[in-house]
Amino acid sequence: MSDLWGVLTEHLPEFSSGFFVTFRLVAIAFVIAMVVGTLIAALRVAPLRWLNLVGATYVEIFRNIPLLVLLFIAFAGLRRAGIPISPWVAGTASLGLYTAAYIAEALRSGVFSVGSGQIDAALSLGLTYPKALRRIVLPQAFRSVIPALGSLIIAMIKNSAIVGASLLALPDLLKEARQVQSQTFETNEVFFWAAVGYMLLTVSATLIFRYLESRFEIKR
Amino acid sequence: MSAAQLTYLFEPPNWEWVITGNNFTFVLEGFLVNLQLAVIGIVLSLIFGLVLALLRISKLRLLSFPAGIWVDVWRNLPLIFIILYLALAVPSSWRQAYADAIPDFLPDALQNELVLGALLGLILYNSAVLCEIMRSGILSLDRGQHDAAAALGLTYRQQMRFVILPQGLRRMVPATVSQLITVNKDTTLVSIIAIQEVVRHGSSLTSAGFFGGVQAPILQVFIMIGAFFVVVNLSLSRLSRRLEIRERRRTGTTLKRVKGLEDQVAAETDLTRP
């Protein structure tokens, strides 16, 4: 136990660089997930049947496939196919596209919670369908899905560890912790501090989303 | 993706590995190991989860408080983190004891002593998650159930056994089925600590020496592995949805979802399917 602080102070550079790699990975993947997720959600609620089908296929594939298998496909698979993809691109894209399927579903259910009267009203005012979606429906949908988004980003922080542990070997928090462990053999101490790092991320995400929830709560 | 890459994906020679030798059965065998691990993991997690849930809802703070911390710690850590930690931290004497104690009729993959760390990891994480799912099932019951049982003169233990648990646990079934989807996907993580399952089998197919001396194309192999998971998990999510709709119709209550789990969010949103 006396070594607990020693391990942290001695290996602070490794821990902090790993922490920021994890942070960056999550941040970039979250942006990808939001953009793609919104797009897929739009496909799923579009009035065209074949667009719905495209959206549904995306969701069912990406949310039922293990992230690790997705990483194999996106990194080793595409490289073998002649696409020189970097570990960072493969890692952020896989994590982002995986989470996008869930975000799309959350947004879609949010859109349905808005009520069809809203879109009918918008259309009758002469807005085009994409415009009605963008200006009327989506802003309301985003509000009602804030709790679900919070849950998904916490899940994504946890899933980000898979990227570092997989064949991509990004130097994230878990990877750095294993590196330090292999030098010092202080398994418990090293993993304790790495756990603190992950908790820091998940707890701050929880607090941010709790704030957003109260800030944008729909008062009816 | 350009046209050249698309033709690469579908070129018949690149799919020949599927019908060559027993490659297909080899991958399928690996996949069965994953399913077995998932089922064993969830059954054991249910048992430990129930114990944790009973501790957590206990009126004694001496029991409920530590149980709450335990559950919150394990379910907020990445599973792969837990598995890698246990792979290093579980003493070899335990692993040896496990290897000696495991009965022979269980599949070969479970005979490996490394499986202990993987199984413990799956159980630690998922029992914490299932504890929360059970707790939300139990808390969704009307307070009157407790009071009525108490008024009938039942002791706390009898209230739990005959009144609260039978109703509360029934309500958690759909959420448990969706958690099984997560567990199913998570079993691939044990490949990282060198357990022979579908990802390992797939990888060895794509290494030199297999496929009649030629490497099987890694893209196609893993697309097929992904397809296995999609088929099984898709059926599970349909099942979960059907159970949930039936349960909601029967009880008229909505369960509070456990946060921080992607497939719990998905199960919730599945219900708004038009």
Question: Which candidate in A22, A69, A170 is best for mutational testing of the B interface (most B CBs within 10 A)?
Answer: A69
Q: Least CB-CB distance to B260: which of A77, A105, A155?
A: A155
Question: Which candidate in B70, B72, B73, B85 is best for mutational testing of the A interface (most A CBs within 10 A)?
Answer: B85
The ipTM, to two decimals, is 0.90
Count of alpha carbons within 13 angstroms of residue A168, beta-carbon side: 33
Q: What is the pLDDT of residues B24-42, one digit of tens each?
A: 888 898 999 899 999 999 9
What CATH number has the domain bearing residue B7?
1.10.3720.10
Across residues A57-76, what is the average pLDDT? 94
Domain span holding position B97: 3-270
What domains, with CATH codes, occur in chain A?
A: 3-215 (1.10.3720.10)
Q: Which residues of A touch B81 (CB under 8 A)?
A: 161, 174, 191, 194-195, 198
Q: What is the pLDDT of residues A89-103, one digit of tens each?
A: 999 999 999 999 999
Report the predicted TM-score, pTM, of the whole model to 2 decimal places. 0.91
pLDDT score at B214: 66
Please answer whether residues A192 and A4 qualify as being in contact, where contact means their C-beta atoms are separated by less than 8 angstroms. yes
Query: Number of CB pairs < 8 Å for A and B?
Result: 161
- Chain A contact for B97, CB < 8 A? no
Please judge whether A81 and B5 are an interchain contact, meaning their C-beta atoms are less than 8 angstroms apart. yes
- Res A36 pLDDT > 80: yes
Task: Quote the number of domains for chain B.
Answer: 1
CB atoms within 10 A of CB B103: 7
Least confident range from A67-81, B6-20, B31-45: namely B6-20
- Chain A contact for B92, CB < 8 A? no
CA-based nearest distance A156→chain B, Å:
8
Q: Least CB-CB distance to B226: which of A73, A80, A191?
A: A73
Please judge whether A195 and B189 are an interchain contact, meaning their C-beta atoms are less than 8 angstroms apart. no
Q: Which long-range contacts (C-beta less than 8 Å, at least 24 apart) are formed by B240-249? A: B240/B174, B240/B175, B240/B177, B240/B178, B240/B181, B240/B267, B240/B270, B241/B174, B241/B267, B241/B270, B241/B271, B241/B273, B243/B173, B243/B174, B243/B177, B244/B174, B244/B175, B244/B270, B244/B271, B245/B271, B247/B170, B247/B171, B247/B173, B247/B174
Instruction: Single out the residue of A163, A160, A169, A167 nearest to residue A76, CA to CA.
Output: A167
